[in-house]
Chain A
């Protein structure tokens, strides 16, 4: 079963490449203590999921569409993949323009979207047709800029329209709290409210949180975006790589699903939980997985009262180690943990909106004040729903 990845904007393309790189490295790494046969089926599944094969050379070709409104990042992405020698992108599977979106969500959504819809969806269709069995779509984008966020929201809508029954998972990067982009809160509010209408699940990574991981857990002194992206890629890989569950990736999640995978460490210590969960998924890989004690995760007090424990908690296991970690665990969680960040962003955006700052930049591309209000309303509803879990 295959997944088609759509990389949008600078962030999406930079992270996307790291993800394929991490998956490819894992594919080639040792199989730890699992049986050779299991390793072989792992590799088969992984390859099928993310890569097709170049006919002449047998080199794995990522099942991906690269989209950006300016050419520099995609050029870099393509050549870095080529240089790796172990995998590559299909150079035809890219769509570029020249000017960028100027960090303007309205430009990405209302101008670039409709203008380039056909070209982009054609590329997606080509990739989809290469798959024997299409499992779904995975988009990688940031919320803060113009292309990933605005065009990303538009493309997600198009995917939903064109592939009604397919699963759509959006990887959304939450920007640093103290700005990478001044209008990032506007762009984030507009993105999230639109994604909610078309996406099945939103997988969230916060730059601040990943930055902390790099600093505290990995002791990196001068943290670069490359470091941040590699951590994100590692986490995504640890979730997406095959497990022994018969269904492969279990797409039965409650929509929508904002979640944050915890860092893969063997320790299962969970200190007192504060956030109520709707659903949790734990993935364990490597040595002694069968004996891993996951009882703590089944504590009913972690979950909202109106859900059945069977539905709320799932475990996937494989004794095949991931990326040289003898043991690793990942947690994907749909819980209240994201309440504070969303509330924060909505608060700051609302503050700015009240003074009408920057609005003229959006209205000139067709996003009016009413559109902003709709988005704010939509997110306040999400916040209320999660608060009442």
Chain B
């Protein structure tokens, strides 16, 4: 069994992280009725004593909580999850990063490097076999974006063999942080160079999913028969019994993404899909490691008998825009690779049938026409009989990046707000030019792949053997 360490950075990162731990505990409680610490738990938790019902006994987990202002982390520590975190796993400061990537990356980066490394080293020591760091952060602010990405090169230097999976929340167009394009593009360069896999998330998509669920459960038609705990947005059954906070529903979706991503590592199945396999199969070229994720189902009806028609619906939904976590259109772009991780009572014939059915409507790059990576995990998520996580490496992320670049250029051309960044020690104008150049190169790589689409495919001539 391998272990993963979760590093939650900044306000967004910590709020999502908090939901993640709550739901992770809930999931393991559902599987492990006796509340005994078992192997499956050991991938994210280490413990001395562990009880699900009363969190009185100490339970530590392999997480690192970082924020440069205390509010959010303090709230976590005073909340019902307080016993889940070890106070030694925190790093906080007081004044925050002022939505300034340079403050997060250069100022706090150098200031806290030793401390961060020390705590990481300690976390790693507790691990039998550390496989992956999960970093959760947002791109638009200062701490998550700056300090979060600073961590990436630190991790690459000190733990080169451990995978770095990053869940990044990208700012929307109407973001109220004016400098979010700067922060995001500066962060992108780090993601390009130091992350193994990035799962971009957009708040608009999360919001749409929340609205859709709200609509379905309150429409009166399905309201009474929907299992509350099965909602992708629900915290029901978790430890946190206080009133839900505004972003909780949206953050639960991201938390569920991480749970599904790691399900095959924690539970058994007839075709396991480990994290290193995800990286191997979905990243054909080193920098093209941005994956579009979609989760289904959003909720489950209380009716237990599921005919395979509904199973097929789940597969169709995974390829509909309603279930994606970013605003993109993969069906009209080019697939480089696609992974399907199925949980629950689904067999290989269901997988094959649906792949055959959906394949014709999807465009795959010429050298990967049948590029599917599949996994079957026997244990479904809480409240569901089955679920599906689809991860796609698709050129549809290009528009998101192009828009980001445009927003950046609008500010940069006018040199707006640059002085806030440049007066930080160690920060120079070259950071900006290199960052935008890195982003442009990335967009160009996607362009070249898009250009291959639709043209006549001529197979390269095979080797000829002299007879």
Chain A residues near B (Cβ < 8 Å): 10, 14, 70-73, 76, 98-104, 146, 176-183, 211, 214-215, 220-226, 228, 346-348, 350-352, 354-358, 360-361, 376-377, 380-381, 384, 388
Cβ of A98 to closest chain B Cβ, rounded Å? 4
Q: How far is the CA of A357 from the CA of B287 in the complex (A)?
A: 12
Contact in complex: A182, B2 (CB < 8 Å): no
Judge whether A179 and B373 touch: CB under 8 Å. Answer: yes
Is the CB–CB distance between A223 and B348 below 8 Å?
yes
List B residues 326-378 near A (Cβ within 8 Å). Answer: 336-337, 339, 347-350, 352, 355-356, 359, 366-374, 376
Size category, B interface? 35 or more
Q: Which of B279, B352, B459, B467 contacts A211, CB < 8 Å?
A: B352
Which one, A103, A220, A348, contacts B370 given CB within 8 A? A348
- Contact partner, A181, options B373, B463, B464, Cβ 8 Å: B373
Interface string of B1-25 (1 = CB under 8 A from A): 1100000000000000000000000
28 contacts between A and B (CB under 8 A): A72-B1, A73-B268, A99-B274, A102-B274, A102-B279, A103-B373, A146-B280, A178-B356, A178-B372, A179-B355, A179-B373, A182-B371, A182-B373, A211-B348, A211-B349, A215-B349, A222-B308, A223-B349, A348-B370, A350-B459, A350-B460, A352-B367, A352-B368, A354-B367, A354-B460, A357-B367, A380-B462, A388-B467
Instruction: List residues of B (63-116) whose CB comes within 8 Å of A's CBs.
Output: none
Rounded to whole Å, the gap between the CB of A185 and the closest CB of chain B is: 9
Q: Which of B384-440 contact A (CB under 8 A)?
A: none
Given that A104-B280, A225-B271 are contacting pairs, would A376 and B463 also be in contact in the complex, using a CB cutoff of 8 Å?
A: yes
A360 pairs with B286, CB closer than 8 A: yes
Contact present for B459 and A351 (CB under 8 Å): yes
Q: What is the chain A residue whose CB lies nearest that of B40? A: A72
Minimum Cβ distance to chain B for residue A182 (Å): 4
A384 lies within 8 A of B467 (CB)? yes
* Cross-chain contact of B280 among A76, A102, A346 (Cβ < 8 A): A102
Write out the residue numbers on chain B whose beta carbons fall within 8 Å of the beta carbon of A14. Answer: 270
Across-interface contacts of A352 in B (CB, < 8 A):
367-368
Would you call B285 and A360 a contact (CB within 8 A)? yes
**Minimum Cβ distance to chain A for residue B249 (Å):** 33
A379 and chain B: residue at smallest CB distance: B463
Q: How many A-B residue pairs have CB under 8 A?
A: 141
Query: Which A residue sits closest to B393, measured CB to CB?
Result: A182
The docked-state distance in angstroms from the alpha carbon of A355 to that of B284 is 10
**B386 CB, nearest partner CB in chain A, Å:** 12
Q: How far is the CA of A70 from the CA of B369 in the complex (A)?
A: 30
The interface of chain B, by Cβ under 8 A from chain A, is: 1-2, 128-129, 131, 268, 270-272, 274, 276-277, 279-286, 308, 336-337, 339, 347-350, 352, 355-356, 359, 366-374, 376, 459-460, 462-465, 467
Residue of A nearest to B373 (CB): A182
* Residues of A contacting B270 in the complex (Cβ-Cβ under 8 angstroms): 14, 224-226
With contact pairs A100-B277, A104-B280, A377-B463 given, residues A10 and B366 touching in the complex (Cβ less than 8 Å): no
Whether B368 lies near A347 (C-beta < 8 A) is no
Kindly state the separation between the CA atoms of A387 and B272 in the bound complex, as whole angstroms.
Answer: 37
Q: Which of the residues B2, B285, B372, B465 comes within 8 Å of A179, measured between beta carbons?
A: B372
A354 CB contacts on chain B under 8 angstroms: 367, 460
Q: With A71-B1, A222-B347, A346-B462 as given contacts, are A361 and B280 in contact (CB-CB < 8 Å)?
A: yes
Instruction: Please give the distance in Å from B292's CB to the nearest CB on chain A.
Output: 16
Q: How far is the CA of A355 from the CA of B288 in the complex (A)?
A: 14
Report the minimal beta-carbon distance from B448 to chain A, rounded to whole angstroms: 11
In the bound complex, what is the Cα–Cα distance between A182 and B122 (angstroms)?
A: 36
Q: Once the chains bind, are B272 and A181 in contact (CB under 8 Å)?
A: no
Known contacts being A182-B337, A183-B280, is A351 close to B367, with CB within 8 Å?
A: yes
Contacts A10-B272, A98-B128, A182-B373 given; indicate if A361 touches B349 (C-beta within 8 A): no
Chain B residues lying within 8 Å of A222, measured Cβ to Cβ, are: 308, 347, 349-350
B272 with A377: CB separation less than 8 A: no
A103 to B272, CA, bound (A): 11
Shortest distance between the CB of A353 and any CB in chain B (Å)? 8
The contact of A100 among B274, B285, B349, B356, by CB within 8 Å, is B274
**Nearest CB of chain A from residue B28's CB, rounded to whole Å:** 16
Assess whether B280 is in contact with A225, with CB atoms less than 8 Å apart: no
Tell me, in angstroms, the Cα distance from A318 to B371 when the chains sit together: 46
Considering the complex, give the chain A residue whose CB is closest to the CB of B467: A384
> Given the complex, which residues of B lie within 8 Å of A178, measured CB to CB?
352, 355-356, 359, 370, 372
Q: Could you tell me the distance between the alpha carbons of A361 and B272 in the complex, rounded to whole angstroms?
A: 20
Closest to A358 in B: B284
Let me know if B277 and A76 touch, CB within 8 A. no
Q: Which residue of B lies closest to A376 (CB)?
A: B463
Question: What chain B residues lie within 8 Å of A104 (beta carbons)?
Answer: 276, 280
What distance in Å separates the Cβ of A290 from its nearest Cβ neighbour in chain B?
40
Question: How many angstroms between the C-alpha atoms of A227 and B466 in the bound complex?
Answer: 44
A104→B279 CA distance, assembly (Å): 10
Contact B281 A183 (CB under 8 A): yes
Contact residues in A for B1 (Cβ distance below 8 Å): 71-72, 98
User: From residue A147, how far is it (CB to closest CB) to chain B in Å?
Assistant: 11
Q: Is B465 a contact of A384 with CB atoms below 8 Å?
A: yes
Which B residues are CB-close (under 8 A) to A211?
348-349, 352
In the complex, how many angstroms separate the beta carbon of A383 from the nearest chain B beta carbon?
8
Shortest beta-carbon distance, A339 to chain B, in Å?
14
Query: Nearest Cβ in chain A — how far from B406, in angstroms?
Result: 29
Please name all residues of chain B whose beta carbon is closer than 8 Å to the beta carbon of A381 when the two chains form the complex: 465
Which of B129, B284, B359: most chain A Cβ within 10 A? Answer: B284
Which residues of the other chain, A, contact B286 by a CB distance below 8 angstroms?
360
Taking A179-B371, A224-B349 as known contacts, 14 extra A-B pairs with beta carbons closer than 8 A to each other, sorted by chain A number, are A99-B2, A103-B280, A104-B276, A178-B355, A181-B281, A220-B349, A346-B462, A347-B462, A350-B460, A351-B459, A352-B368, A354-B367, A377-B465, A380-B465
Query: How far apart are A21's CB and chain B's nearest CB, in angstroms?
Result: 16
Q: A181 CA to B339 CA in the complex, in Å?
A: 9
Does the CB pair B460–A351 fall under 8 Å? yes
| B350 engages A182 (CB within 8 Å) | no
Residues of chain B within 8 A of A182, CB atoms compared: 281-282, 337, 339, 368, 371-373
A98 proximity list for chain B (CB < 8 A): 1-2, 128-129, 131
Closest CB pairs A-B (n = 6):
A102-B276, A179-B372, A223-B349, A98-B129, A224-B347, A357-B284
